[in-house]
Amino acid sequence: MVTMKGSWKLLTVFDIDIELHISFLLLLPLVLFFDWLFSVVLFVLFTSIVAHELTHALIAKREGIEVKRIILLPIGGMAVMSESKLSAFDEFRMAIAGPMFNLVFCTLIALGVWAFGIPIYDLAGWNMVLDTEAAVPFIPFLVSSYFWLNWLLGVFNLFIPAIPLDGGRVFRSVLAMGMKYVDATRIATRVSRIVTVFLFLFAFLTYNLILMVISVFIWLGSAAEMEFALSDELLTGVPLANVIRTNYLLVDDDDSIDMVVEDMITSRSLVALIELDGHIGTTSLYDIRHVPKSKWKTTKIGRVARKLRPISMSHSIMDALKKMNKDQVDALPVTYKHKLKGVVFRDDILKVFEILKVVNA
């Protein structure tokens, strides 16, 4: 089944869904074009990446962080977790766990090879087999692939100090043990940019297209890390009471989508609230987009609106933002002693963030 994010669920391990991203279809012609060695290498690479990501995920789960899924992309894996700021020591443990798995696995292979006398290729030999597509015995090639690809994954992830790679997270967590999280992230992001420029140049000069793509992702990823750290720093101190709205668009659950869109335009509101069998529900453009336009006249808004669990007034706007991201909504009802006091909108939080960024620059 294709999920909302465009990936296929392959299997579930320890309650975590392992999903293959749709961009893997791009690799399909390559598999047909190359011989069986290439397929073996792909299989080895992705089982190793899954094990690497699972190690991160299992440590995260032990810290009480919700791990939603692991997505496999052609350039590597990604564990999707709930947004939580970890203590520096916990981040250190979680980041180092993945590459440590690869390096420990390498050591075990080396011991096994030595104990059972399996011949394996050195790095140059393994590369040459791949380049020349030589006819080779299966077991030594498979074992060599597991050894060298895990060595590569372990070293690349651990020793390149660019966030969001594991090495960058380890670096940030060590810094964060002696300073504020946001300052540690700022330094780690600057180092990442320098490292990424060199990584990109190296990839360019060696015609390594995959490494070039990875460099771009690291650059974008480090910017996102900085945004998150900064929002956490600036928004955690702002009480919800400062941003709630008491005038909001309230629609009837019997209204058609057509009518609600009309109301949204006249009130210039991206979100509408709705009474939904005793609960407060919300609907936004996000929900409406999923209904074909031809059905807007006949579909009642109550069918696409979602029930919301309210947030208590005692929280900060950062808590509200995290909750919105988790529930994939753009507004939350705010209550005080179980009574509805108003609504907080994602838009308003982002505006406050933009202002605070300027004030604190």
Instruction: Find out whether the peptide bond into 164 is cis, omega within 30 degrees of 0.
Output: yes
Between 166-176 and 138-159, two packed helices, what is the crossing angle to 10 degrees? 30
Phi and psi of 275, rounded to 5°? -85, 125
**CB-facing half-sphere around the CA of 291: CA atoms within 13 A:** 23
Cβ 276 to Zn ion shortest distance, Å: 41
Cβ 287 to Zn ion shortest distance, Å: 34
Nearer to Zn ion, 94 or 274 (CB): 94
Nearer to Zn ion, 98 or 221 (CB): 98
Cβ 185 to Zn ion shortest distance, Å: 18
C-beta separation of 11 from 61 below 8 A: no
Cβ 168 to Zn ion shortest distance, Å: 10
Nearer to Zn ion, 166 or 330 (CB): 166
Residue 236 DSSP code: T
Q: Which residue, judged by CB position, is nearest to Zn ion in the bound state?
A: 98
Nearer to Zn ion, 98 or 333 (CB): 98
Cβ 165 to Zn ion shortest distance, Å: 7
DSSP string, 161-224: --TTSHHHHHHHHHHHTTS-HHHHHHHHHHHHHHHHHHHHHHHHHTT-HHHHHHHHHHHHHHHH
Helix, strand or coil, per DSSP, at residue 13: strand
Q: State the residues that interact with Zn ion by CB under 5 A.
A: 98, 157, 166
Residue 40 CB burial class (10 angstroms; 0-12, 13-18, ≥19): middle
Burial 214-223 (b: 16+ CB within 10 A, else e): bbebbbebbe
CA–CA distance, 266 with 257 (Å, rounded to integer): 14
Cα Rg of the chain (Å, integer): 25
CA quadruple 152, 156, 157, 159: dihedral, nearest 10: 130
Nearer to Zn ion, 79 or 344 (CB): 79
**Other C-beta atoms within 10 Å of 225: how many?**
19
CA–CA distance, 121 with 109 (Å, rounded to integer): 13
Cβ 58 to Zn ion shortest distance, Å: 12
Nearer to Zn ion, 163 or 320 (CB): 163
Nearer to Zn ion, 157 or 283 (CB): 157
Nearer to Zn ion, 166 or 232 (CB): 166
Cβ 162 to Zn ion shortest distance, Å: 12
Cβ 91 to Zn ion shortest distance, Å: 12
